[in-house]
């Protein structure tokens, strides 16, 4: 529609450029003839000549120039609009082309994502199957080793070997169990039995099992601690994991501190050590799957799964697991504090299936 509008205007001005000055010139001449005409004829005096030149010639010429100038302006505007129109068309075409390309890319990404999810599911199923299959022989192995260790006539070296095998077998069993639990948790199939859990007995039991009497433990527990709302087994597993790490990653002669704080709606258990601490750039990474601070022969034994599982389990129980390091202003032993915070127990027991 727009080009027509400009075309009409252009056409009108083109005609007006000639007709208006002509009309004005004729009118001015006629007027001057009438004004200066006498009964005895026309006198070509200075007034007639001057007025005729001004009104019949220069006036129309100026008006003609103005209309020509306006016509040029409209002409330029018309060309600019036509250019904008072409640019708009090109832009629209480009947008359509890019949108189609993006849509295609999106579809490809969507397809790749679905394939990856399927592969991940297959991998989880495979890991879960293998772990499941490993559990039964490991249970028999542990039982057999326990029976063998009860024999009285064992030489010290055989006892030592059997004990080492027992430790390794227990570690492997724990690993297989963790893998199974992680794949269940990832698949949303881990069942949590939430209920009121007494904190202090879990802390004492975990220290006894994980650390024993080999190390100085500094306790800072309020005299009465309300129960937390958690899954007892998994809550204890997280606490044990934090204690095991504090023991593993700090020198044996340094004490480990256990602090319990009661806040308005939750209870925090802090496990603090005087080890080398954790570098800022590693502090979030160590909560990821298979992430370890050290690797290679010299690294303490581990799989890099403990904190990953601990945080996932804590989140699933509506708690938080946080790290603060350095914990002390001592360059030689900056240490770390892991804090697990859980809600104070509600009234009735509850079961969470799909975490």
Distance from C-alpha of 274 to C-alpha of 330, rounded to nearest angstrom: 9
Contact between 215 and 247 under an 8 Å Cβ cutoff? The reply is yes
Distance from C-alpha of 61 to C-alpha of 56, rounded to nearest angstrom: 9
Structure tokens at 295: 């690797």
| For the chain, counts of helices (H) and of strands (E) | 7, 10
CB atoms within 10 A of CB 109: 10
Helix (H, G, I), strand (E, B) or coil at 221: coil
336 or 341: whose CB is closer to ligand ADP? 336
Q: Shortest Cβ distance from residue 230 to ligand ADP (Å)?
A: 19
52 or 245: whose CB is closer to ligand ADP? 245
Q: Shortest Cβ distance from residue 100 to ligand ADP (Å)?
A: 46
Element at 267 (helix H, strand E): strand 266-272
The Cα-based distances of 288 to 55, 166, 340, 341 in angstroms read: 94, 29, 17, 19
234 or 249: whose CB is closer to ligand ADP? 249
* Residues making contact with ligand ADP (CB under 6 A): 245-246, 249, 273, 275, 278, 286, 291-294, 302-308, 336
Q: Shortest Cβ distance from residue 171 to ligand ADP (Å)?
A: 10
27 or 177: whose CB is closer to ligand ADP? 177
227 or 304: whose CB is closer to ligand ADP? 304
Q: Shortest Cβ distance from residue 275 to ligand ADP (Å)?
A: 5
Structure tokens at 118: 């399927």
DSSP state of 345: P
- Give Cβ neighbours of residue 177 (< 8 Å, ≥ 6 apart): 131, 135
Q: Shortest Cβ distance from residue 293 to ligand ADP (Å)?
A: 2
């Amino acid at each position: 529609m727009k080009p027509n509008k400009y075309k009409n205007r252009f056409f009108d001005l083109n005609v007006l450029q000639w007709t208006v000055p002509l009309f004005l010139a004729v009118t001015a001449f006629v007027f001057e003839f009438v004004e200066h005409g006498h009964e005895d004829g026309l006198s070509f005096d200075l007034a007639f000549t001057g007025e005729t030149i001004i009104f019949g010639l220069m006036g129309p010429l100026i008006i003609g120039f103005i209309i020509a100038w306006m016509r040029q302006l409209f002409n330029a505007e018309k060309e600019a609009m036509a250019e904008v129109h072409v640019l708009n068309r090109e832009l629209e075409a480009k947008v359509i082309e890019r949108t189609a390309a993006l849509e295609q890319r999106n579809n490809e990404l969507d397809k790749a994502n679905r394939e990856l999810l399927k592969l991940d599911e297959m991998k989880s199923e495979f890991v879960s199957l293998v772990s499941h299959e490993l559990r039964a022989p490991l249970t028999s192995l542990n039982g057999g080793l326990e029976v063998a260790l009860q024999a009285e006539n064992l030489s010290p070296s055989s006892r030592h070997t059997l004990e080492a095998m027992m430790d390794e077998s227990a570690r492997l069993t724990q690993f297989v169990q963790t893998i199974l639990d992680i794949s269940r948790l990832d698949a949303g199939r881990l069942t949590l039995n939430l209920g009121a859990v007494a904190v202090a007995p879990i802390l004492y039991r975990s220290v006894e099992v994980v650390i024993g009497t080999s190390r100085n433990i500094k306790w800072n527990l309020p005299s009465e601690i309300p129960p937390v709302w958690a899954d007892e087994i998994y809550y204890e597993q997280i606490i044990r994991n934090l204690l095991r790490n504090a023991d593993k990653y700090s020198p044996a002669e340094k004490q480990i501190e256990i602090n319990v704080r009661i806040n308005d709606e939750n209870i925090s258990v802090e496990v603090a050590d005087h080890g080398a601490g954790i570098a800022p750039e590693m502090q979030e990474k160590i909560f990821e799957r298979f992430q370890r601070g050290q690797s290679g022969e010299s690294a303490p034994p581990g799989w890099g799964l403990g904190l990953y599982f601990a945080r996932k389990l804590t989140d699933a129980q509506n708690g938080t697991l946080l790290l603060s390091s350095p914990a002390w202003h001592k360059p030689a032993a900056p240490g770390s504090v892991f804090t697990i915070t859980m809600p104070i127990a509600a009234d009735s027991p509850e079961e969470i299936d799909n975490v």
